[in-house]
Chains A and B, each alone.
Chain A
Amino acid sequence: MSIEVRNVSKRFGSFTALDDVSLEVEGGSLTALLGPSGSGKSTLLRIIAGLEEPDSGDVLISGELATALRPQKRNVGFVFQHYAAFKHMTVWDNVAFGLSVRKRPKAEIRDRVDRLLQLVQLEAFGHRYPAQLSGGQRQRMALARALAPEPRVLLLDEPFGALDARVRAELREWLRHLHEEVHVTTIFVTHDQEEAMDVADQIVVLNAGRVEQAGAPASLYDEPRTEFVMRFVGEVNRIGGSFVRPHDLDIGHEPLDGAVEAMIDRISRLGFETRVELSGADGEPIIVQITRDQLEELELERGQIVWVTPARERVFAAS
């Protein structure tokens, strides 16, 4: 089921949360809305779910106009950052909620809830209350609950934001598997570029209420259209008027074409990869990523003066 957002704007008082945002999400895809806090990514997700009304613009779900539909009529699954577990219900009843409000037959509800609890590996926890679960378990319960009524789209608002790093990585992988299995059109909001790169097959970068760029993770990384995107989706050096990724810089002892002089401040070995921190002629920091083999070949040391040459650089029109 595809999702289309057309020229949506939303203000909260004097704050512009979304400014004429349009985007298209293909049916069956896994899309990340990526941006810093205050970029409008959560507001956009809530507008798609119907939890927030846009001031102008439209939302289409599988080609049908949904802007005027109440959230309960949109048939979307929504997962909140802080789980929004129904605290007075057992895990089983939480997952069954979407089916029982639709007055589905008891036997059907039982089958579907049991199957979903199995899918999220909570089959042994059906009789517990949410307060008796860990954060990761609660979020898996929330996912099963959102999936129960077979939604047309699944929307996740910073779903792993409240979890610790290890559980987050686990759930991230797990979400990707789940998506392969269930194949429901999924949009998730995150401020973590690594998470977006890792999980999504399409990323929409938002900044100050506008779409900066949308595309596949690799194209965003390799061909950022704006300085903001280049900075946001990975580490970046500014050398003169252009921007270079740390792994697109070569270090040498000879001044090649386009090289700048820099002094090595620090060398950190991170396994196979080595980070070299330098300062340029004007004192600007430069970070270069090289392999351990290169490091040994060049015999780099702290305090050395070397030449840094961009292999691939980008220049953006001043905005």
Chain B
Amino acid sequence: MAKRSLRSVALGYLVVILVGPLGIVFWRTFQHGLAPAWNALSAHDTIHAFELTLIISAIAVPINTVFGIVCALAIVRREFPAKGLLNAFIDLPLALSPVVVGLALFLLYGRQGWLGPWLTAHGIRVLFAVPAIVIATIFVSLPFVAREVVPTLREIGDEQEQAARTLGAGGWQTFWRITLPSIRWAVTYGVILTTARSLGEYGAVAVVSGRIQGVTETATLRVQQRYESFDLAGAYAISIVLALLAVGVLLAMTLIRPQEETA
């Protein structure tokens, strides 16, 4: 009995919090048939917004994956003076509101900012352009890979790596053949979370992008823009594609995970 009621509570909670709202989005999108949704999705600016979101993610995710693995290795396997500081800084993006991140970038790269005048003088445009969106996205999605990998590295310990060294493997060989395969699922989950965050980031990007339609408007910004223009079907349609992208990433990762590991 207790088991069943526990399950009901868990499922009920998921329905109310997750499935309900998502279901309503689906229903509203296709309430008036496929045409309004299709029109919104096939608009030039919408396609551009999706392209931009995918490009940004394609840049931010690999960078944060490499950085996250390097940071996790440094935190777990090395001793250095500023280790505590690094550990704390990695969590900073989780603690800060994305809007604050956006503002901070604004202060750094804006016309009155520290780097702004130098960048302008050299003809480099950061704010209200793709570089700012990339930087903002990297910032907010920074912690996920490191946070997933650190506990796994601690758990597996370094004996396997030591064994590899005594067997003649150099640093790189040890990393590629022993360390990376041991942490691959932690990295995978980190990548899923990083990707989801990169696809869905709104606050920081909203501040630094300038929201120029067809230029610096990402998919999430496009949802807001459609909503404000009373194009609800369009807003819902874009939301659904965003949600499907996220679900697709999750599914892909689940499917490539071999059976041997689940035992």
Do A and B pair up? The answer is: yes
Which residue numbers of A lie inside 8 Å of B, CB to CB?
A: 49-51, 70-72, 74-78, 80, 82, 84-88, 97-98, 101-102, 129, 142, 145-146, 148-149
The answer to whether A72 and B162 touch across the interface, beta carbons within 8 angstroms, is no
The answer to whether A98 and B165 touch across the interface, beta carbons within 8 angstroms, is no
Mask of B163-201 contacts with A, CB within 8 angstroms, 1/0: 111111110010001100110000000000000000000
- Known contacts A88-B181, A101-B177; A72 and B159 CB within 8 A of each other: no
If A72-B170, A98-B167, A101-B169 are given as contacts, then 17 extra A-B residue pairs at C-beta distance below 8 Å, sorted by A number, are A71-B165, A75-B168, A77-B166, A78-B162, A78-B166, A80-B159, A86-B160, A87-B160, A88-B181, A97-B164, A97-B169, A101-B173, A129-B260, A142-B163, A145-B163, A149-B167, A149-B168
The answer to whether A101 and B160 touch across the interface, beta carbons within 8 angstroms, is no
A70: min CB distance to chain B, Å: 7
Contacts of B178 in A (CB 8 A): 86
Please classify how large the interface on chain B is, using the bins under 10, 10 to 19, 20 to 34, 35 or more: 10 to 19
Contacts of A74 in B (CB 8 A): 166
Can you list 19 A-B contacts (CB < 8 A)? A51-B165, A51-B166, A70-B165, A72-B165, A72-B166, A74-B166, A76-B166, A77-B166, A78-B162, A82-B159, A84-B162, A84-B163, A86-B178, A87-B160, A97-B177, A101-B167, A101-B168, A101-B173, A149-B167
Closest chain B residue to A78 by CB distance? B166
Contacts of B169 in A (CB 8 A): 72, 97, 101
Q: Which of A50, A86, A129 contacts B163 (CB 8 A)?
A: A86
* Interface residues of A, dominant DSSP: loop
The answer to whether B159 and A145 touch across the interface, beta carbons within 8 angstroms, is no
Closest chain B residue to A100 by CB distance? B177
Closest chain A residue to B261 by CB distance? A88
CA separation between A76 and B165, bound complex, in Å?
10
B182: min CB distance to chain A, Å: 6
Closest chain A residue to B169 by CB distance? A101
Q: Please indicate which of the listed interface residues B156, B167, B170, B178 has the most CB atoms of chain A within 10 Å of its own CB.
A: B167
CA separation between A72 and B173, bound complex, in Å?
11
Contacts of A101 in B (CB 8 A): 164, 167-170, 173, 177
Closest chain B residue to A77 by CB distance? B166
